[in-house]
């Protein structure tokens, strides 16, 4: 026979508390607040994108005429991408800036990939675990958070002046490399860290040297993660304006940069420049530039996600 | 290498362990181990969790070198050579003394590449296809995978993965195989296959196996070592020690030590 108190607790009446409705209201209030937060964030973004799209498409779609005076010259994406800048908003293309951004991407990839992955592999796999290594690791994380303007200043001092590369696309690319190197190193280290230790042990137990274990088993397994980090770093680099302006990229360029030592401009700088003109039509041209930049970023981020999903299941 | 004075070489033994202790920093995981491991026999290490069995088996192929702060005192000689001599290359040690781990750890590559990796790093690149077939056959896996050698090894079942790990270990022609609880992640059917396989392999290799499974030790091994943990006087530290080392048949019928008898009969541990 159970004691009375227990018997009472176990009776089904205790299931009915009268608090059910109260709890439900609290819960839905809380959820509502969360929905509002999400909606505000998404609406802001949507407004921005709508504004840019509705303004900028005039330069990218053909069936459009400006007022009664002239038919605009640039009216499709191909022309927009290949035409030089101009004094007239309806004739200005983003050609040189697009070419400048492509140059920057090539330089950034060529320099960042070997240095970024090299540093990450050393730090994660080979470096002795001591105070110096920890100090370096801590500072890498800090460097990833340094404002980009500071890197512009560094680029100006080191690449433009000291190394004598001038205000060239090479200096710009190297400055952006410095900017994203910490991010890429941290991401690559994370990718290496994600490779299970049993892989390293398995390789070593077969008589592989440390070097063989790392470069034939661990690194190949980490490559997808490393590439993802690289692509994300790159997409940050091509959106940067401040460091490039600081190190002296040009704003009005009417030629295509043909060597690494050419002067250059990049898409975000071009947009920044156009938006600064007083005439209303420039706003449309600038918006078209923004659409292009957003498109590039979207493609690159999708690529990163694709690579991650494609290879994630292999580990 | 001056190894003559430290060892009375028994032609039958592959390892001679003398006064061995392994510590991680201040923590002594196992101490005072003395044993001779017999060639072409299966030697099982049994004992409760935390008694240092895995630590001990990892010092036979210097896998403990990879753990920060691990320190091995005393000597392990392998065919008369001190494994921890300064002149000894741990990479060569691991090539001669293979290891199979607790959890199957195939490389995330094809079945074939899992085996050729070991061959390549050991410059055994002649007749690779034959070597792959031979290793897989020895590991009793050939018939199951011969038609899809280019399949990703991670698509195999757990038991197949573990046999693949055994295959890649024997492909590089070691003479000893260390097994650290090779069946603990496997079901009874897969376990049975591995045990049968061990009986085949022991004709060519010396096998050391750590196991938690008493039946497995009594079924498969020729020699058996029982370890336990001893708590220090102040009760703060637990250190593994060898309690008894004997032929398995004796160990499981008339053990010398009462502690062994208690453990084996399930009254302790």
- Domain with residues A77-312, CATH architecture: Orthogonal Bundle (1.10)
Distance set, CA A213 to CA A190, A208, A315, B111, B168 (Å): 18, 6, 16, 18, 15
pLDDT at position A70 over 80: no
**B174 Cα to chain A: minimum distance (Å):** 9
Contact list, A224 vs chain B (CB under 8 Å):
none
Choice among A248-257, B70-79, B127-136 with the minimum mean pLDDT: A248-257
pLDDT at position A4 over 80: no
pLDDT in tens, A216-226: 999 999 988 89
The rounded percent of chain A whose pLDDT value lies above 70 is 90
- B168 lies within 8 A of chain A by CB: yes
ipTM of this complex: 0.87
Q: Average pLDDT of chain B?
A: 88
- B1 lies within 8 A of chain A by CB: no
pLDDT in tens, A242-253: 888 888 787 777
What is the spatial distance between Cα B169 and Cα A206, in angstroms, rounded to a whole number? 6
pTM attached to this predicted model: 0.80
Tell if the CB–CB gap between A206 and B105 is shorter than 8 Å. no
pLDDT at A219: 93
pLDDT classification of B142: cutoffs 50, 70, 90: very high
pLDDT at position B118 over 80: yes
Contact (Cβ atoms closer than 8 angstroms) between residue B193 and residue B104: no
pLDDT classification of A284: cutoffs 50, 70, 90: confident
Contact (Cβ atoms closer than 8 angstroms) between residue B129 and residue B189: no
Question: Is domain B13-264 annotated with CATH 3.40.50.720?
Answer: no
pLDDT at A5: 53
- B68 lies within 8 A of chain A by CB: yes
Q: What is the CA radius of gyration of chain B?
A: 19
pLDDT at A65: 54
- A195 lies within 8 A of chain B by CB: no
pLDDT at B4: 40
A213: closest chain B residue by CA: B121
**A200 Cα to chain B: minimum distance (Å):** 9
pLDDT in tens, B179-197: 999 988 888 888 888 899 9
pLDDT in tens, A136-188: 999 998 988 889 999 999 999 999 999 888 888 999 999 999 999 999 999 99
Structural tokens at position A79: 């022309």
Which residues neighbour A164 within 8 Å (Cβ) at sequence distance 6 or greater?
Answer: none
Bridge partners, residue B239, by sequence: B230
* Span B108-137, average pLDDT: 93
pLDDT classification of A72: cutoffs 50, 70, 90: low
pLDDT at position A193 over 90: yes
Closest by CA to B261, choosing from B213, B223, B214, is B214
- B88 lies within 8 A of chain A by CB: no
Q: What residues does each domain of chain A span?
A: 77-312
- A133 lies within 8 A of chain B by CB: no
pLDDT in tens, B199-221: 989 998 999 999 988 888 998 99
């Amino acid at each position: 026979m159970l004691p009375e108190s227990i018997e009472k607790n176990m009776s089904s009446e205790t299931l009915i508390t009268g608090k059910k409705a109260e709890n439900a209201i609290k819960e839905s209030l809380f959820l509502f607040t969360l929905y509002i937060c999400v909606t505000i964030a998404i609406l802001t973004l949507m407004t921005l994108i709508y504004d840019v799209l509705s303004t900028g498409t005039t330069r990218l779609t053909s069936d459009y005429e400006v007022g009664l005076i002239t038919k605009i010259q640039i009216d499709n994406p191909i022309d927009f991408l290949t035409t030089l800048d101009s004094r007239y908003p309806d004739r200005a293309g983003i050609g040189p800036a697009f070419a400048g951004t492509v140059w920057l991407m090539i330089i950034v990839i060529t320099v960042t990939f070997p240095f970024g992955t090299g540093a990450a592999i050393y730090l994660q796999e080979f470096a002795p675990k001591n105070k110096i290594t920890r100090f370096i690791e801590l500072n890498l994380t800090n460097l990833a958070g340094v404002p980009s303007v500071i890197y512009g200043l560094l680029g100006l001092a080191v690449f433009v002046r000291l190394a004598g590369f001038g205000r060239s696309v090479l200096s710009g690319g190297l400055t952006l490399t410095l900017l994203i190197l910490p991010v890429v190193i941290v991401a690559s280290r994370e990718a290496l860290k994600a490779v299970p230790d049993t892989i390293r042990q398995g390789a070593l137990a077969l008589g592989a040297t440390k070097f063989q274990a790392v470069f034939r088993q661990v690194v190949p397994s980490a490559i997808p993660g490393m590439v993802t980090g690289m692509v994300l770093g790159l997409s940050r680099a091509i959106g940067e304006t401040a460091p490039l302006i600081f190190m002296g990229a040009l704003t009005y360029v009417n030629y295509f940069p043909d060597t690494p030592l050419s002067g250059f401009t990049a898409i975000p700088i071009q947009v920044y420049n156009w938006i600064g003109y007083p005439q209303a039509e420039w706003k449309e041209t600038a918006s078209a530039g923004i659409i292009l930049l957003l498109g590039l970023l979207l493609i690159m981020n999708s690529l990163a996600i694709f690579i991650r999903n494609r290879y994630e299941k292999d580990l | 290498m001056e190894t003559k004075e430290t060892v009375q070489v028994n032609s039958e033994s592959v390892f001679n362990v003398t006064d061995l202790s392994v510590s991680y920093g201040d923590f002594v995981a196992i101490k005072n181990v003395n044993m001779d491991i017999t060639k072409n026999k299966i030697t099982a290490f049994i004992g409760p969790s935390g008694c240092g069995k895995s630590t001990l088996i990892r010092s036979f192929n210097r896998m403990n070198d990879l753990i920060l702060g691990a320190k091995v005192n005393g000597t392990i000689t392998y065919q008369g050579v001190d494994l921890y001599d300064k002149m000894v290359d741990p990479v060569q040690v691991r090539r001669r003394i293979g290891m199979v781990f607790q959890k199957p750890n195939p490389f995330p590559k094809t079945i074939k590449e899992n085996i050729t990796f070991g061959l390549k790093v050991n410059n055994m690149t002649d007749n690779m296809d034959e070597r792959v077939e031979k290793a897989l056959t020895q590991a009793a896996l050939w018939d199951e995978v011969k038609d899809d050698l280019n399949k990703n090894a991670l698509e195999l079942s757990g038991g197949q993965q573990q046999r693949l790990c055994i295959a890649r270990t024997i492909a590089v022609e070691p003479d000893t195989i260390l097994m650290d609880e090779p069946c603990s992640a496997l079901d009874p059917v897969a376990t049975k296959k591995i045990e049968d396989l061990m009986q085949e392999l022991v004709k060519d290799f010396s096998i050391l196996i750590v196991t938690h499974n008493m039946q497995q030790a009594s079924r498969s091994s020729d020699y058996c070592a029982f370890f336990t943990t001893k708590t220090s006087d102040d009760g703060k530290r637990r250190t593994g020690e060898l309690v008894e080392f004997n032929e398995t048949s004796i160990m499981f019928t008339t053990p010398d030590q009462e502690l062994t008898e208690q453990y084996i009969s399930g009254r302790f541990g």
